[in-house]
Amino acid sequence: MKKVMIGTAMVVMLTCAVVVWAANEEQAAKEKKALETPRQVPNRISGTPMRDQMRGRGPGMPGPGGMQQAYEEFTKKREEEHKKAVAELEEIRKIAESEKATKTVEALQKMIDKKNADFKKATEESENKRAEMQQRMDQLQKERAAKNAQNPAVKPEGEPKEKAPVKKTDK
């Protein structure tokens, strides 16, 4: 009877491991497909829509603060998926503990620890990339502000200011 229960627990554990593996493979395939699809080249003929898109006001572009919101939503979704996967593994570990399958419990704990470490590493990398991008954007804004301060005939938005009247002098 004990062998049957251990065998059943192993089958359940392997089935769950295959399901988690398949979900990871499916996610990897989606990410690979997204990287392989060509980017759409914006229409460079008409200046105004392109300018609006670059300012974040075009169709499909996030508005002010939209990139931060999108990043937060992505992070939340990734964290929820991680918690769900770890919870499934912990449930299987509890079953194995109740059946006193110590090797299975140890293997499951290693899997949980690896998932947590991978998630932490991916989160840190993502946060570092976001911070680097923010730093680049801040630097670019400073450079543009300095350039605009040197050339007062151009507004920061890229639209020309009214020119000061030219005084004519008789020579």
- Mean predicted lDDT score pLDDT of the chain: 78
Q: Which two tokens stand for residue 149?
A: 């301060």
Q: Comparing C-alpha atoms, which of 123, 118, 93 is closest to residue 106? A: 93
- pLDDT for residue 46: 47
Q: How far is CA 80 from CA 67, 91, 135, in A?
A: 20, 16, 28
The most confident of the ranges 3-12, 78-87, 160-169 is: 78-87
For the segment 122-151, the average pLDDT, to the nearest whole number, is 89
Separation CA 16–CA 105 (nearest Å): 14
* Residue spans per domain, the chain: 1-25+80-146
Q: Comparing C-alpha atoms, which of 112, 107, 124 is closest to residue 83? A: 112
Percent of all residues in the chain with a pLDDT value above 90, rounded to a whole number = 33
Q: For 43-82, what is each residue's pLDDT tens digit?
A: 554 455 655 555 555 445 555 567 778 888 989 999 999 9
The separation between CA 85 and the C-alpha centre of its own chain, rounded to angstroms, equals 19
- pLDDT for residue 168: 65
Q: For 21-31, what is each residue's pLDDT tens digit?
A: 878 888 877 77
pLDDT band at 165 (very low <50, low <70, confident <90, very high): low
- pLDDT for residue 159: 54
